Amino acid sequence: MAEAQDILHRWVAAINARDASTLATLMAPDFVFVDSLGNQMRGAETMTPAWRSYFVMCPDYWVLVRDVAPTADAMLIAGEAGGTIDGTSWRIPAAWKIVIRDDHVVEWRVFADNKPVYDILSRRST
């Protein structure tokens, strides 16, 4: 089995490369994504196209890991996230929880104040 730190490194590298195909190989079939508002998406098959859509909306999306704190069954990560949406750049402090089992990510939970992103999206024409 791969070390959890290695899986985390590959996960973050895939996010920063906007590589939904690699993310798909790293997600467990029962993967769960929880956004900063508590909304959940379940299943790797559901989440893979969601990653692709997000990377189209924010083509230079990135995460920067500054600190990692392992717990008994997860890692807590602190850092920053950012990118550009509709020509407007954003950057926010962020934290994540990642749960890895059997060499796959089973949970990715976001903790962030995404108000800058929501402000950009609210300016879109309806």
pLDDT in tens, 48-99: 999 999 999 999 999 999 999 998 889 999 999 999 999 999 999 999 999 9
CATH class name, domain 4-122 = alpha beta
pLDDT value, residue 2 = 63
Radius of gyration of the chain (CA): 14
Query: 3: Cβ–Cβ under 8 A, 6 or more apart, which residues?
Result: none
pLDDT value, residue 72 = 86
- The backbone torsions φ and ψ at residue 32, rounded to the nearest 5 degrees and listed phi first, read -130, 135
pLDDT value, residue 10 = 97
- The backbone torsions φ and ψ at residue 3, rounded to the nearest 5 degrees and listed phi first, read -70, 145
Work out the end-to-end distance of the chain between its first and last CA atoms, rounded to an integer number of angstroms. Answer: 48
Beta-bridged to residue 84, according to DSSP, are: 89
pTM: 0.93
75, 4 Cβ separation under 8 angstroms: yes
Helix (H) / strand (E) element for 39: namely none
Q: Hey, what are 94's tokens?
A: 């962020």
Average pLDDT value for residue range 7-31: 98
**Whole-number Cα distances in Å, 36 to 22, 41, 117, 126:** 23, 12, 12, 24
Parse the chain into domains and list their residue ranges.
4-122
pLDDT value, residue 124 = 87
pLDDT value, residue 126 = 58
- The backbone torsions φ and ψ at residue 123, rounded to the nearest 5 degrees and listed phi first, read -85, -5
pLDDT value, residue 52 = 98
pLDDT value, residue 19 = 98
pLDDT in tens, 26-47: 999 999 999 999 999 999 999 9
